[in-house]
Chain A
């Protein structure tokens, strides 16, 4: 078993409340209840998310010693996603339209797609993503080694389903509220406004404009996402948010690409072969 990574991106989370002691067998039992379950032979497009251990990628074994991360607990979860290669659909549709000499109707395209899904999906192997996290129970802190929105959402959901504990990202508000600053400061923190720093390039004299507050940004209105939204077209669980130019492959979750008959994988550049 290789050592935990030494580079990449990390998202810290806090929690409140009491977590099962990671040294107890009960902790591993909870992980095993939400263990990874394979979709290798599934005949439909689907995603499977569940715990595994660094020593066993199947999710069949949860030995406490496999979770040993020194001063922390080393968690790993696996995300498998099976989806129909769109290129195959396009090729078959083009061939059908060429054979009959005219475009297919929407209904005919849908029927062709359903037929192809039934035929091909059992043969398609899922893409695999492995994501690590380090849990520090005494600090009620967990560090997630993936920065993509989809990985963060999968992790916080899986953590909640496993331990019934909601993780809070260690953003500027939560980091302040969790710190040792006084209650009065915490009260101020909740209501604080940004500083408007003077634009001195506009000053025509030696005097600088005074420092003032500006309105605090309001939370944006929630946007409901549906299966028809364009976001669903983007490859989930694959690519970390590009945070900077120097990001390395270590920023990304570990991914395993099975050999499929997919001619092109749009995420091939992000794959790290584990085999």
Chain B
């Protein structure tokens, strides 16, 4: 018994566990601040499973149990079953199509009994494991394009399924795994091209199409002029430049409108455009809502963000104190227990509170990277980077959307947002990492 305990505890990274417990505690406190009403009996309602903070508390108990179970598991189990988990994850994702229940416009939730389960959330763990497994295979040569494509397919295919479930926000998370591939040697060019395309898409949204086309043409002409000597010698270069120009204009002229008209949901395009303070120009189906909104008093798409900014901004330097925030206490910010939980902290504890929270997250991320770098096994390292990437993406996008730097994408803030699936998933992600790290002396494949 004693020996067993020692073997569990041995090598376990205490700082990660401490950070984890701290964040969960902050989360439950924040949810308490949102949902507690004067006169509620605190202690009894905490254990009643009726209020949200009580539910979150029980989710935490479950998460702790799951985490302990994982810590008791042999670390070889994870690389050994990684592909199996991936298969399970994909199957679960596909099961959503026949069995989903419609909750708040999303079709990604399976409901059994009183519980809701979102496979897209859980599938992150599977992808993380499978990607690590693939990258750590001895016969994977990640310098080859073929391997890179396979790795990308492993990461992106659940994303595609998730998009079909109208959960674009969750799907975007899977693109964060490119960070892992980058660490493992994915050419920087790929990321540069990716960023360029992203920049081009944003430019398409912000700048008038014709002006942008002219600007692109001018840039292309300038590049040809500057490289006129090489172009004279090498016709291939000219063709490349013209091709790039063609692709750019194509994206700007056809791909982006197609994306906004046919792939993204209407509310998503509106959220994106409201971020830039614009009306949705791709709304070419003027239905009765648009007709009625000829005199629309407020832009409803950015209501959340405006109220969220007001909430955070009104916190000031030191905040109004727990339970004193008028914005978050009186439901001005929608979804403030879940996706907009950051507002509660911003309003209650001010700039001091938000920076401290960001610092805790940054310490967590740096700690995970440090842990990753001390792994001997490629599997463990890849997995650790996967965890860091997922956390990083969630934190960045969630906080950015509450402060108005990113469009509203419904993804939770790790360990803090209300929600059982999310909390348990993040706990599993971290617990597996801690388990793998505890056995870092072993070489895993």
Q: Do A and B bind each other?
A: no
Taking Cβ atoms with an 8 Å cutoff, the residues of B that contact A are: none
**Chain A interface (Cβ < 8 Å from any Cβ of B):** none
